[in-house]
Amino acid sequence: MPAELMLPEMGLEPMGGGSLREIQFREALREAMSEEMRRDDRIFLMGEEVAQYNGAYKVSQGMLDEFGPQRIIDSPISENGFAGLAVGAAMYGLRPIIEFMSWSFSLVAADQILNNVPKMLYMSGGQWGCPVVFRGNDGAGGQLGSTHSWCVEGLYANVPGVKIVIPSNPYDAKGLLKTAIRDDDPTFFLESERMLGDKGHVGAGEYTIPFGKAALRRQGSDCTVVSFGRPVNFCIDAADELKKEGIHVDVLDMRTIRPLDIDSILDSIKKTGRIVVVDQCWPFASVASEVVTQVCERGFDYLDHQPLRVNTEDVPTPYAKNLEALYLPHKGKIMAAVKSSLGRL
């Protein structure tokens, strides 16, 4: 079963982390990196503008002052170059954190992060791994145009050998990032520029969150709604609105899609008989497609209605503000899908 970890603003008390403060998503990321760098001097942060400029999005603000230029390192605008450096550094025994200003720019480094990093442990017969955390902004950032708005998880999740983490709130961002930094496998940590200023309750003490364990954000027996990352918050809004109409849904926040907690999804479907998967990737060969496939393979007999998906529209990301809003998953689309599964449209 999924962990029933709900933040105060989501209905229940969180588990772990000691006393709570309300801080921004970017501050939660900074805390995670700083705490781990104090614990382990093999860890360093590298990326464009992470040092002197305090980070393009101020995630690494103040870290240069504390850790110095040997551990907080500004790089040239060359994702292929500094991603490749991370491969060698990790094989040598260091534990790099590599920041992509946008995951859209990671495509420039595809040979390093997809052809080298995930395969190194296998190809070396277990002699050298690549414990690198690649992190940065994923998805539509708000009128940035098509080439700066990639949701890469649908593309990158196809590659075995990496773990993919997509937090939906500041509490999870800190706990999951600390787990990623300690993990001996390479991890892609996908953030959202649109969420960096979001505030949430975060534990001041030490805590980590295990990979492959979904969190139950809302509880209900009518339909299972599955999502990850920023759209989880749209699902919560939709669930609260549907509740006013007498429709009660489970909202599962997957947190990680590699590994995927399919068991928690199946447990929920046994109760509800219906599933809607909300995914900010394009629909063809998306993460939602994989979830639906696994549900049909392992849980077909539990279903009372065919699985439904809510994805972004199958077009390049629009620049216009109104078109971008229509293109993305949103509360209205999610509510309509849930009602459709119940035959209430």
Please state the domain extents for the chain: 20-203, 215-341
Distance of CA 199 to the CA centre of its chain: 17
Instruction: Evaluate whether 339 touches 288 at the Cβ level (below 8 Å).
Output: no
> Apex CA 65: angle with CA 205 and CA 207, to 5°?
15
Q: How many residues does the chain have?
A: 345
**Whole-number average pLDDT of the chain:** 94
Of the candidates 27, 31, 36, 79, the residue annotated as catalytic is 79
- CATH architecture of the region 20-203: 3-Layer(aba) Sandwich (3.40)
Same topology between domain 20-203 and domain 215-341: yes
Q: How far apart are CA 115 and CA 80, in angstroms?
A: 12
191: β partners: 137
Q: How far apart are CA 71 and CA 74, in angstroms?
A: 10
Cis peptide before 318 (omega within 30 of 0): no
Amino acid making up residue 297: E
- CATH architecture of the region 215-341: 3-Layer(aba) Sandwich (3.40)
Q: Which residue has the higher pLDDT, 26 or 17?
A: 26
Residue 329: phi, psi to the nearest 5?
Answer: -60, 145
> Apex CA 104: angle with CA 100 and CA 107, to 5°?
90
The candidate with the shortest Cα–Cα distance to 61, out of 36, 29, 38, 13, is: 29
Under the banding of pLDDT at 50, 70 and 90, the label for residue 13 is very low
- Dump pLDDT digits (tens) for 112-142: 999 999 999 999 999 989 999 999 999 887 8
- Dump pLDDT digits (tens) for 187-232: 999 999 999 999 999 999 999 999 999 999 999 999 999 999 999 9
- Dump pLDDT digits (tens) for 155-184: 999 999 999 999 999 999 999 999 999 999
Q: Tokens 């077909």 label which residue? A: 300
Percent of the chain whose pLDDT exceeds 70: 95
- Dump pLDDT digits (tens) for 251-298: 999 999 999 999 999 999 999 999 999 999 999 999 999 999 999 999
Crossing angle of helices 331-341 and 231-243, rounded to 10°: 60
The candidate with the shortest Cα–Cα distance to 270, out of 244, 236, 303, is: 303
What pLDDT is recorded for position 142?
Answer: 83
SS3 of 58-114: CCCCCHHHHHCCCCEEECCCCHHHHHHHHHHHHHHCCEEEEEECCHHHHHHHHHHHH
Any catalytic annotation for residue 241? no
Under the banding of pLDDT at 50, 70 and 90, the label for residue 17 is confident
First-to-last C-alpha distance (Å) of the chain: 31
Q: How far apart are CA 235 and CA 138, in angstroms?
A: 19
How is residue 269 written in tokens? 């479907």
Any catalytic annotation for residue 148? yes
Of the candidates 27, 36, 148, 153, the residue annotated as catalytic is 148
What pLDDT is recorded for position 12?
Answer: 39
Crossing angle of helices 170-182 and 25-39, rounded to 10°: 30
Pinpoint the alpha helices (H) of 124-273: 153-156, 170-182, 231-243, 262-272
CB-based contacts of 171: which residues, under 8 Å, 6+ apart? 7, 14, 17, 28, 200, 201, 202, 203
Please determine, for residue 8, whether its predicted confidence score (pLDDT) is greater than 60: no
Under the banding of pLDDT at 50, 70 and 90, the label for residue 186 is very high
- Dump pLDDT digits (tens) for 87-99: 999 999 999 999 9
Instruction: Evaluate whether 144 touches 97 at the Cβ level (below 8 Å).
Output: no
Distance of CA 228 to the CA centre of its chain: 6
Percent of the chain whose pLDDT exceeds 90: 90
What pLDDT is recorded for position 123?
Answer: 93
Q: What is the CA radius of gyration of the chain?
A: 20
The model carries a pTM of 0.94
What pLDDT is recorded for position 15?
Answer: 59
Please determine, for residue 103, whether its predicted confidence score (pLDDT) is greater than 80: yes
Please state the rounded mean pLDDT for residues 319-328. Answer: 93
What pLDDT is recorded for position 140?
Answer: 82
Q: How far apart are CA 18 and CA 30, in angstroms?
A: 18
